[in-house]
Amino acid sequence: MKDQGYEHAHSSPIKTPQQLAVVVVLAFVVPVIGLILLAGFVISGYRSTALQGEEPDAVARRIQPLARVEFAAAAAGPRAAKTGEEVYSAVCVACHGTGAAGAPKTGDKAAWAPLIKEGMDVLVKDSIKGIRAMPPRGGNPDLSDVEMARAVAYLANQAGANWKEPAAAIAQPAASAGRTGEQIVTAGCSNCHLTGEGGAPKIGDRAAWSKRISAGIDRVTASAIRGHGGMPARGGFADLTDPEMKKAIMYMFDAAGGKVVPAAAK
């Protein structure tokens, strides 16, 4: 009886191979599950502490969705054209204020003198398409031709020129219709030719226009295109084409009593 009790006390609870397999599996699985739960508890506690220490805005940024759709408000309308000084301050000063990349410095009369001799029309075209180290439109593609012309006039005037900034872009009534001589004169030329400013012959002044009418429409047109006296090239409007310049001069010729027959009719 004593031997049987001793064997019973020290006998294993595992009686079959199936029980042994279960015990072995549990010996690996239980610790792994415990480690996973422990790690999750530690990480969640860290995140909670981190979020509590952040500002509300920072927390909102961390939990916001990866993407969202926004509807931008439509533009209220065309923006007002900037003045030459505004364009210069926003764009041109970066290079012309310091002479960077070989740009002629603002107010440097020696550097600007040969450029001013080329005329406003040439400088405006160069500034629009870009030249040497200068990118097109000074690197701002949103600038209009009128704004570029204003900036050129402003820069040249700082170096001693007396160029007039374009008042505004001349309206184009219809793509197919083109601009009439009267429209061009009313929108641009009348700035000087109505008042005689800078020695410009006043519209309708027969005596002032007689010599010009005698010189012929082609000669006067060529002079107006390149600029002369106090008149800048193309009257300060770089977007005026050669035929449009001719239309404007023909209109002023007619206003002074000079009958001009268009070349097409000839």
Say how far residue 82 (Cα) sits from the centre of its chain. Answer: 12
Q: Which residues contact 206 (CB under 8 A, 6 or more apart)?
A: 256, 257
What is the pTM for the complete model shown? 0.43
Mean pLDDT of 100-109: 92
Give residue for tokens 């900037």.
Answer: 82
- 35: confidence class by pLDDT, cuts 50, 70, 90: confident
Mean pLDDT of 159-168: 84
CATH topology of domain 181-255: Cytochrome Bc1 Complex; Chain D, domain 2 (1.10.760)
Greater confidence (78 vs 208) lies with 208
Cβ neighbours, 10 Å, residue 115: 17
CA distances from 34 to 39, 47, 94, 218 (A): 9, 20, 65, 99
Q: What are the tens digits of pLDDT across the range 173-185?
A: 444 456 788 888 8
Q: Which residues contact 205 (CB under 8 A, 6 or more apart)?
A: 196, 256
Say whether pLDDT at 166 is over 50.
Answer: yes
- 46: confidence class by pLDDT, cuts 50, 70, 90: low
Q: Which residues pair with 228 in a beta bridge?
A: 231
Q: Which residues contact 196 (CB under 8 A, 6 or more apart)?
A: 202, 205
Same fold, 84-158 and 181-255: yes
Say whether pLDDT at 30 is over 70.
Answer: yes
Q: CATH classification of 84-158, choosing from 1.10.760.10, 1.20.1290.10, 2.40.40.20, 3.90.550.10? A: 1.10.760.10
Q: Which residues pair with 231 in a beta bridge?
A: 228
Say whether pLDDT at 74 is over 50.
Answer: no
Query: Which segments of 14-114 are extended strands (E)?
Result: none
Q: Which residues pair with 131 in a beta bridge?
A: 134
Mean pLDDT of 226-236: 80
- Report domain extents, the chain: 84-158, 181-255
CA distances from 131 to 13, 16, 92, 165 (A): 95, 94, 14, 21
Greater confidence (177 vs 186) lies with 186
